[in-house]
Structure 1
Amino acid sequence: MFQAAYIEAAKKISRELTGTAPSRAQLHRWTSGELKRLPYVDHCRVLEAMFPEWTADELFAPCPPQLLADEPAAYAPSDDRADLEATADRVGPNPHADVTAVFPTRAEFSFAHPPHALLDNATSIRIAGLSLNMLCQQYPDQRLFRLIEAGTTLQALFLDPEGEAIEAREREEGYTDNHLTTLTRLNIEVLTRLRKRRSPEAQDRLTVAVYDETIRFNITLINNQLCVLQPYLPSARGVDSPTFLAERNATGTGVYETFEEIFNALWERGRPV
């Protein structure tokens, strides 16, 4: 997402800047707060075009205290998470079983409930889908590593990048450059790198597996309570699919239990990585 915005801004400045978007590792260095000097001048030009209210010096400086004070919601994931978990209580009697919210696209869902709001306070994360971008691309590696070291358990199930199902999905979405396969391999590598860095106490908290079956849903189960459900539509990218939130209810007969069963079945049939 960042690269796409960077490329658009670069085109408006100069054709010579085409293809200069930072790599994932380079972007991580930019956002880590550990740079000792500004990036190259061309990078600074593009960044200032992307964020016209800020200079490059300001973008790479520590966040001013007044911004933290003026916009607490953007920096208070625990409050966001509490709001999300209280959705069912606010809406009152729910005629749609345990489904508490629906979003037309994943982009609109991510805007309303960014990954940090979902995951920062999670003690248990189970996720199955295709490339698992929300976990591996939209949530910082170091943040995820700290979660696992602090006690969070993570089960991540990817569509097998060497399998037939991902090839079928690439044809369905119109990709001819192994885009989904390459992205999935990259995201699996993100988690396997984290796994190698675990402390002895955290060895059993991160497990990764793959499965080779027709992709139907992206399922994220958080704290054995919240389900984020995203179907895959024919001939449409995953980001264009709707997103449903379901909260486990006391009856044990809602949507949450249905998709927890689906996750468990997929996991049992998966192959450890």
Structure 2
Amino acid sequence: MADQQILLKSLLQQRHWQTYKTFCKEYDKAAKLVDSTLQGKWPSRAQLHRWLSGELKGLPYSDHCRVLEAMFPGRTVEELFSPNSTRNSTPRSDTHLPKNAAPSVEAAPAPQLADVTAVFGSRSAFASTYPPTVLFDTAKEISAAGLSLNVLCQSYPDHRLKSLLENGTRIRCLFLDPKGTAIRAREDEEGYKDNTLVTLTALNINILTRLRDQLPREAADLLELRVYDETIRFNILIVDGATCVVQPYLPQARGVDSPTIVINDNTAADGLFPVFDRVFTSLWERSLPV
């Protein structure tokens, strides 16, 4: 079944419930109707991926089955985990081509973009389409890992950050350690000779530390600052567990010149969101608090 889309995956896509956050919300609605004690007991992201990829052997636990049948009235759980017979999965045939002939460009399959929704040639091009106010003003959770995190510290006003925190937004910031060796290596790679990246990163950490000191205790606890000292590969920004912005660090190029990828969590697709979510989590767990 792993090579054929199951009905549950098709139905989630049809209803636009494929992001993990949306799935959990709809799961809770159905759970309330079935048994209120099942609310909040949705599958983990990894479990849901196994369900939708067709890798699950048998059926989920009975409580999950009850909720799934409530989410899709008229469908049995056996149907939900069976291949979608209405989906056109007939492979393209190239039997008419001469022996050793390559398929024409017109006959090539469409590119598979999974959960990638936009790609920009540079950070400035990305910022003109996704300004910080659009990204952050209504956010309930922001996780950022990179070098100096200018998008939060330099491009987004302090009073807006303060307002977010006072209204319950959780913000996690993971900086490249300004006292570490990895940031020195990156400065050498970019051709800096005057501690530019060290100074900027230390300044940005100080900006957020000062802001945290001005907040009430409950709001201050929502702003978590950490540092790590490892070769920098990506700048990762995750907003509300649904939108991920990824910027690779290129050799001998400033970060602002990096291409930028926008990813929207689509649990019903084999996408990149869980990949970079794991990268952030792994870095966070190895980091040190500020």
TM-score (norm 1): 0.65
SS for the counterpart of 1:210 is: strand
Shift of 1:253: 3.7
Match of 2:208 among 170, 191, 201: 191
Work out whether 1:237 is the aligned partner of 2:251.
no
Work out whether 1:121 is the aligned partner of 2:138.
yes
Matched-pair contact (CA < 8 Å) for 2:171–2:223: yes
Match of 1:36 in 2: none
Residue 133 of structure 2 aligns with an amino acid whose one-letter code is H
Work out whether 1:255 is the aligned partner of 2:277.
no
Unmatched runs of 5 consecutive residues or more in structure 1:
1-84, 86-92
Residue 103 of structure 1 aligns with an amino acid whose one-letter code is F
Match of 1:179 among 186, 196, 202: 196
Distance 2:230 2:151 in 1: 21
SS for the counterpart of 1:249 is: coil
Residue 233 of structure 2 aligns with an amino acid whose one-letter code is R
Distance 1:180 1:218 in 2: 15
Match of 2:171 in 1: 154
Is 164-173 or 191-200 further displaced after alignment? Answer: 191-200
Larger radius of gyration: 2
Match of 1:167 in 2: 184
Unmatched runs of 5 consecutive residues or more in structure 2:
1-18, 20-109
Q: How does 1:1-273 map to 2 (within 5 A)?
A: 95-251=112-268, 253-273=270-290
Shift of 1:252: 6.6
Match of 1:69 in 2: none
- Percentage of identical aligned residues: 55
**Which fold has the larger relative contact order, with Cα–Cα distance below 8 Å and residues 6 or more apart in sequence?**
2
Distance 2:215 2:162 in 1: 8
Shift of 1:254: 1.4
More helix per residue: 1
For residues 20-69 of structure 1, what are the alpha-carbon distances to aligned partners after superposition, in whole Å with 9 as ceiling and x for unaligned? xxxxxxxxxxxxxxxxxxxxxxxxxxxxxxxxxxxxxxxxxxxxxxxxxx
Matched-pair contact (CA < 8 Å) for 2:142–2:171: yes
Residue 227 of structure 1 aligns with an amino acid whose one-letter code is C
Distance 2:258 2:117 in 1: 17
Matched-pair contact (CA < 8 Å) for 2:115–2:269: no
- Aligned residue-pair number: 182
SS for the counterpart of 1:220 is: strand
Residue 220 of structure 1 aligns with an amino acid whose one-letter code is L
Q: What root-mean-square deviation, in Å, do the aligned CA atoms of Structure 1 and Structure 2 show?
A: 1.5
Residue 242 of structure 2 aligns with an amino acid whose one-letter code is Q
Shift of 1:241: 0.4
Matched-pair contact (CA < 8 Å) for 2:187–2:197: yes
Residue 222 of structure 1 aligns with an amino acid whose one-letter code is V
Distance 1:164 1:253 in 2: 36
TM-score (norm 2): 0.61
